[in-house]
């Protein structure tokens, strides 16, 4: 059946399959680490620090990985990412006595490199598999890739919580390592060998030489994802477990459903934002959708402070936040691929996702630090939400400078 598909579609399916498999293990590993080490008595700040190198090396990898992809091809950077994730998982299979904070941070550093090599390779590949004059198609393909990835990341959250209860920490990590190793072997066989290799080899200094539109979009992306992770990464799971008394399966399951829904909205974002009517989004679209999200974290914080049932406030607030954030993220993902140059596309995409990783790094550290500093519980989560609102207002202001000219979608 696959033989009847065009080479571009077959490569899109291979890239997407790799991205899906990687994302499933990445989401599960994130939930495993948060819940396992919280159960061992680690503080929120200590849990955040476990992911510090994950995010730091994500920043470095996106910056250097784009240049590397332009030189050696995106197939190699994607396969290296898969292999590194298998090694990172294997590092966590040491005896419990050796599973120290520095060791886990080192494994997370390797996982951060792997994740962003994989993401940069997948997003850059789409630009090369769609004709240059088909912006509407490009938006839909990017939305499907991004949305399905996040849906599987949510499934990974649930998988992590369930596997932790069924197999324990070591059993869960071992099962994921074996499954991902099989995906890596398949990718070595089926992924096109010269995908994304630039005709004109960029110099290393060009990794920071970007257009004005890409610089502005990257700054907006950094703040957008910092605004999500400042309350979502550490503060929210710990609040659900510690304050609301949810068990591992409930916490992982709820966050999984949220991220799956978030991914589903991303996948249909072209319909929501109007591309089916003959237009594709521009900078004005990004600004308006960011504005629709900006005050929502503040509203959730006020609801928590007013003594309203915290479970209802969080569930309702998270549902609305997920829909609006998904549309914002999908718009940004399309715009960077659209703005990027076709030759050496990974340079531009890598720079942009470097800013994305920087936002996650800032948000992750603040999530643990602010939540703990503000006294944890409701006060800690509310403090994180206020910082999220401030970051989103800054995102709106920066987005005002994005190019606003619309192009017709063929």
What are the pLDDT digits (tens) for 316-326? 999 999 999 99
Residue 407 pLDDT grade (very low, low, confident, very high; cuts 50, 70, 90): very low
Annotate 8-40 with b (16+ C-beta within 10 A) or e (fewer). eebbbebbbebbbbbbbbbbbbbbbbbbbbbee
Instruction: Identify which has the larger pLDDT, 6 or 406.
Output: 6
Tell me how far apart the alpha carbons of residues 288 and 285 are, in angstroms, rounded to a whole number: 5
Cβ-contact 80, 60 below 8 angstroms: no
pLDDT number for residue 324? 95
Residue 131 pLDDT grade (very low, low, confident, very high; cuts 50, 70, 90): low
- 176-180, 256-260, 261-265, 313-317 — which is least confidently predicted? 256-260
pLDDT number for residue 209? 55
- The residues spanned by each domain of the chain are 2-399
Residue 199 pLDDT grade (very low, low, confident, very high; cuts 50, 70, 90): low
Please name which of 269, 248, 143, 120 lies closest in space to residue 195, comparing C-alpha atoms: 120
Cβ-contact 251, 237 below 8 angstroms: yes
pLDDT number for residue 101? 81
Tell me how far apart the alpha carbons of residues 21 and 338 are, in angstroms, rounded to a whole number: 26
What are the pLDDT digits (tens) for 83-94? 999 999 999 999
What are the pLDDT digits (tens) for 205-229? 666 656 888 999 999 999 999 999 9
Tell me how far apart the alpha carbons of residues 112 and 315 are, in angstroms, rounded to a whole number: 29
Residue 260 pLDDT grade (very low, low, confident, very high; cuts 50, 70, 90): confident
Tell me how far apart the alpha carbons of residues 115 and 80 are, in angstroms, rounded to a whole number: 10
CATH number for the region 2-399 comes to 1.20.1250.20
Cβ-contact 401, 216 below 8 angstroms: yes
pLDDT number for residue 3? 55
Q: Please give the mean pLDDT across all residues of the chain.
A: 82
What are the pLDDT digits (tens) for 148-173? 777 787 788 778 878 888 888 889 89
pLDDT number for residue 390? 97
What are the pLDDT digits (tens) for 35-53? 788 778 887 777 777 778 8
What are the pLDDT digits (tens) for 106-116? 898 898 889 88
CB neighbours of residue 161 within 10 Å: 27
Own/partner contacts of 74-77, CB < 8 Å, gap of 24 or more, are 74/121, 74/124, 74/125, 74/128, 74/195, 74/196, 74/197, 74/346, 75/121, 75/191, 75/192, 75/193, 75/194, 75/195, 75/196, 77/117, 77/120, 77/121, 77/346
Of the chain, the percentage scoring pLDDT greater than 90 comes to: 28
């Amino acid at each position: 059946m696959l033989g009847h598909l065009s080479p571009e579609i077959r490569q899109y399916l291979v890239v997407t399959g790799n991205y899906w498999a990687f994302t499933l293990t990445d989401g599960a590993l994130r939930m495993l680490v948060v819940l396992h080490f919280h159960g061992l008595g680690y503080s929120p700040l200590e849990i955040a620090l476990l992911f510090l190198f994950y995010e730091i090396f994500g920043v470095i990898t996106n910056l250097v990985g784009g240049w590397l992809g332009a030189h050696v091809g995106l197939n190699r950077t994607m396969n290296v990412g898969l292999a590194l994730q298998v090694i990172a998982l294997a590092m966590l299979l040491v005896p419990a006595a050796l599973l120290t904070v520095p060791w886990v941070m080192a494994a997370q550093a390797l996982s951060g490199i792997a994740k962003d090599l994989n993401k940069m390779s997948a997003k850059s590949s789409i630009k090369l598999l769609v004709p240059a004059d088909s912006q509407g198609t490009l938006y839909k393909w990017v939305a499907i890739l991004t949305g399905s990835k996040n849906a599987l990341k949510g499934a990974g959250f649930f998988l992590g919580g369930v596997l932790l209860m069924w197999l324990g920490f070591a059993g869960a990590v071992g099962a994921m390592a074996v499954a991902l190793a099989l995906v890596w072997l398949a990718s070595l066989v089926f992924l096109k060998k010269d995908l994304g290799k630039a005709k004109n080899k960029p110099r290393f200094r060009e990794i920071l030489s970007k257009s004005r539109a890409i610089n502005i979009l990257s700054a907006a992306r950094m703040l957008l994802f910092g605004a999500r992770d400042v309350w979502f990464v550490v503060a929210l799971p710990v609040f659900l477990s510690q304050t609301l008394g949810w068990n591992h399966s409930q916490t992982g399951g709820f966050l999984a459903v949220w991220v799956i829904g978030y991914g589903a909205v991303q996948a249909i974002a072209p319909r929501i934002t109007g591309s089916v009517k003959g237009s594709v989004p521009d900078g004005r679209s990004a600004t308006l959708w960011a504005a629709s999200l900006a005050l929502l974290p503040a509203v959730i914080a006020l609801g928590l402070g007013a003594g309203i049932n915290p479970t209802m406030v969080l569930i309702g607030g998270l549902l609305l936040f997920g829909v609006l954030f998904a549309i914002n993220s999908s718009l940004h993902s399309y715009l960077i691929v659209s703005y990027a140059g076709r030759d050496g596309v990974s340079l531009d995409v890598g720079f942009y996702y470097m800013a994305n990783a920087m936002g996650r790094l800032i948000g992750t550290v603040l999530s643990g630090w602010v939540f703990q500093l503000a006294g944890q519980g409701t006060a800690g989560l509310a403090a994180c939400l206020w910082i999220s609102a401030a970051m989103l207002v800054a995102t709106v202001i920066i987005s005002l400078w994005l190019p606003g000219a619309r192009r017709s979608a063929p």
